[in-house]
Amino acid sequence: MTEQQFIPKAYSKTVESGKVTWESPSNIALVKYWGKKKDQIPENPSISFTLNNCKTITTLTFSKKENAFDFEFDVYLDGEKKDDFKPKIQTFFERIEVYLPFLRYYKFKIETKNTFPHSSGIASSASGMSALALCLMSVEKQLIQADATLSTVERPVDENYFNQKASFLARLGSGSACRSIEGDLIVWGQTDAIEGSSDLFGVKYPYQVHENFKAYQDTILLVDKGEKQVSSTVGHNLMYNHPYAKNRFQQAHDNLEKLKPILESGDLNDFIALIESEALTLHAMMMASMPYFILMKPNTLKIINKIWEFRQETGLHISFTLDAGANVHVLYPKKESSEILKFIKNELVAYCQNGHYICDQIGFGAKLIKN
């Protein structure tokens, strides 16, 4: 598909008002995306687990307005008006207006809340922007269905198109948000390793996955709940002149190819080696940037070493991955969860800020709550 296929036929704006609510999860990448081209296009492909419990719930209320000069919206987080969120939404609307031409014709109230604490150090951009994109797609679907002049061919509102366009729009708000529409394994970025993969939107992993990876667990250890000293956007931009960028981008393609037989066979040892290498490579690229930076904290490294020691002693398949921050995602198969969770509570939680952690597992994407 191309961007042009997401530009709708003209539709009459006959719906006066309405309200829609979607919940959309966060996700954690196994093969990492780091570095992007123009228009939120990734420099390399990535694959992620969709989470289940860490999600954003967004209600979009809309009503027709008299003029179409400017975007008009208000943003609320947990019931509190957040004008400091408006510049990001303004930029998002500017990017997607050609694909959702109704945006200037309605006034919007965006009410959002997270199931995880706002100060938890978990990036909410993926869940937040995907939830908003889904709400906007529901509005477009209503407008298309209300236009009696459109033929059946001109009403592309089937589930596949809906999800693809929602993922496409979410990407223009936050790159990784395109991986939060569906689950449980989502690929983003064109690569020969994955049939049907695209730079424009996330796609469901199309190949066989072993039972070992079903209901995989993710316990998120909140090492540092403060704001990162370097934003992900800045970090991505530092890949432009990075001395190791070309090799890193190729490595991501190669690792996706290596992951396919691992996911099919259920080889947990090879899975652990690949995802931990990916996590450390992400942070190695940050440390080798110019200017360089370190997002891991001392307790991040202590947790990693504790995980390695416990795995060596017990033979259990506990592993870790990291996002662009200090928090540690502890990954493990559900069948080993009882003993591993005891270890996490007894040994690792002590390294978390205020002892805070979140138990999550693989999920299956966003859900429509009310329309």
| Res 12: pLDDT | 77
Cβ contact 212:333 at 8 Å: yes
| CA atoms of 44 and 65, how far apart (whole Å) | 42
Residues 187 and 218 in one domain: no
- What are the residues whose beta carbons fall under 8 Å from the beta carbon of 128, sequence distance 6 or more? 24, 56, 58, 112, 114, 174, 177
For residues 180 and 286, state if they share a domain. Answer: no
One domain, residues 188 and 254: no
What CA–CA distance (Å, rounded) separates 62 from 20? Answer: 9
- DSSP state for residue 36 in the 8-state scheme: B
Do 230 and 178 reside in the same domain of the chain? no
Q: Are residues 260 and 142 in the same domain?
A: no
Domain that holds residue 250: 214-361
3-state secondary structure of 312: helix
Q: Give every CB contact of residue 352 below 8 A, 6+ residues apart in sequence.
A: 221, 222, 223, 299
The CATH number given to whatever domain includes residue 260 is: 3.30.70.890
Structure tokens at 310: 């416990």
Q: For residue 20, which phi and psi values (nearest 5 degrees)? A: -145, 145
pLDDT tens digits for 211-258?
A: 999 999 999 999 998 878 898 899 999 999 999 999 999 999 999 999
Residues 184 and 226 in one domain: no
**Beta pairing, strands 72-77 & 106-114:** parallel
Task: Report the candidate in 359, 18, 15 with the shortest Cα–Cα distance to residue 218.
Answer: 359
The answer to whether 365 and 203 have CB atoms below 8 angstroms apart is no
Asked if residue 332 and residue 281 are part of one domain, the reply reads yes
Residue 200 domain-assigned (yes or no): no
Same domain, 19 and 151: yes
In a domain, 263, yes or no: yes
Rounded distance, CA 279 to CA 115, Å?
25
Cβ–Cβ under 8 Å, residues 251 and 41 = no
Q: Closest Cα partner for 45 from 194, 183, 147?
A: 194
| 188 and 219 both lie in a single domain | no
Residues in the chain: 371
Task: Give the model's pLDDT for residue 225.
Answer: 84
**Which parts of the chain register pLDDT below 50?**
none
Tell me what pLDDT residue 119 has. 60
* Per-residue pLDDT at 115: 94
- CATH code, 41: 3.30.230.10
Q: b/e string for 112-129 if b means 16 or more Cβ within 10 A?
A: bbbbbeeebbbbbbbbbb
Question: For the chain, how far is it from start to end, CA to CA, in angstroms?
Answer: 28
Within the chain, residue ranges assigned H as helices are 86-96, 125-146, 159-173, 232-237, 245-265, 268-287, 298-314, 337-343
CA distances from 15 to 20, 147, 148, 150, 194 (A): 13, 9, 12, 15, 40
Residues 140 and 227 in one domain: no
The total number of structural domains that make up the chain: 2
pLDDT of res. 153: 55
Q: Are residues 136 and 47 in the same domain?
A: yes
Q: Which of 334, 293, 302, 297 is nearest to 317 (CA)?
A: 334
Partners of 316 in the beta sheet?
none
| pTM beyond 0.75, yes or no | yes
Q: What is the CA radius of gyration of the chain?
A: 21
- If asked whether residues 183 and 289 sit together in one domain, one would say no
pLDDT score at 228: 81
